[in-house]
Amino acid sequence: MSVMAIIALVLAILGLLISWIPLINVLGWILLLPALVLGIIAIVKTGPNGAARGRGLAIAATIVTVLALILTIAFQALYASIFSKVGTDLETLEKELKQIEQQNTPGLPNLELPTDADSGVAVEGEGDVDNGNYRIKLVSVTKTGVDYEDRPTAVLTYELTNQRSDDNYSIFDVHMQAFQNGVELENAVYGLEAPEGYDPLSLTAELKPGATKTVVIGFVLKDPSAPVLIEAEGFFSDGKVYKEFPIQ
């Protein structure tokens, strides 16, 4: 059995395990580059004319190494984009807070606070979030059937408008939460008989700048009769859009 193939596979698995961890995945290069070299050498040595056995193991080690390298590169690019966005949004938030502070300063007449959620306050029913990149309108919460564990559920319907000037839309830019009696509700997972109107793909559907889509998602109710409070926030902004819906 090829020792190089075994070492390459171990290094590849370790690199794969840390490929998704921010900052730490930089160490993956130290593991994966040697693993790739050892895997290729092991394939050559375990070939038809090679002196060692374990060609299948050598090929598997090389494949896992390549996969881990791809994931490491992808996650590093993703985290770099997120960190860059955080820096930009923090600068924007600081400017907005200064504007609000100026508007609240006594002696400055005829000044009004902003009415959108990105001003750092809560807006009921409809407003902008994520520094104005998106507009959310909370439409309805309707009690429906049960999830795959036979627990009572309700579906939330809301409209999402992409107000970005670029194509960097992400479903993670907007965070939606539901509460009953102050306790957060978990997302519903339905079996074969999903409630009418429920569309799990509406959440992940692409949304171009200027377009609006209707999203329908489900939540598991903790109380079949208590009202449901919905809160929508941008990923990097303090403001939120909220609305409480009665459960019929």
Q: Which domains does the chain possess?
A: 3-99 (no CATH), 122-246 (2.60.40.1240)
Name the 3-class secondary structure at 212: strand
Residue type, 185: L
Q: What pLDDT score was predicted for residue 96? A: 63
Instruction: Return the ∠ at Cα 233 (arms to 228 and 239), rounded to 5°.
Output: 110
**pLDDT confidence band for 101 (50 / 70 / 90):** low
Name the 3-class secondary structure at 172: helix
pLDDT exceeds cutoff 70 at 207 = yes
Give the single-character DSSP code of 227: -
Q: Tokens for 238?
A: 């303090």
* Residue of 82, 241, 122, 115 whose CA lies nearest to 175: 241
pLDDT exceeds cutoff 80 at 82 = no
The mean pLDDT value for 9-30 works out to 83
- Span 125-157, pLDDT tens digits: 898 888 888 899 999 999 988 888 889 999 999
Q: Tokens for 22?
A: 């921010």
The mean pLDDT value for 6-34 works out to 83
CB burial of 38-69 (b: ≥16 within 10 Å; e: otherwise) equals: bbbbbbebbeeeeeeebbebbebbbebbeebb
Q: d(Cα 86, Cα 96) in Å, to the nearest integer?
A: 15
- Please state which of the ranges 80-84, 93-97, 138-142, 237-241 shows the lowest mean pLDDT: 93-97
The mean pLDDT value for 56-75 works out to 87
The mean pLDDT value for 201-222 works out to 89
Query: What average pLDDT does the structure give for the chain?
Result: 81
Q: d(Cα 124, Cα 110) in Å, to the nearest integer?
A: 24
Burial of 23 (0-12, 13-18, 19+ CB in 10 A): exposed
**The model's pTM:** 0.52
SS (H, E, C) 73-127: HHHHHHHHHHHHHHHHHHHHHHHHHHHHHHHCCCCCCCCCCCCCHHHCCEEECEE
**pLDDT confidence band for 193 (50 / 70 / 90):** confident
Higher per-residue pLDDT: 15 or 248:
15
Q: What pLDDT score was predicted for residue 32? A: 85
Give the single-character DSSP code of 25: G
Q: Tokens for 61?
A: 């080690």
Name the 3-class secondary structure at 68: helix
pLDDT exceeds cutoff 50 at 107 = no
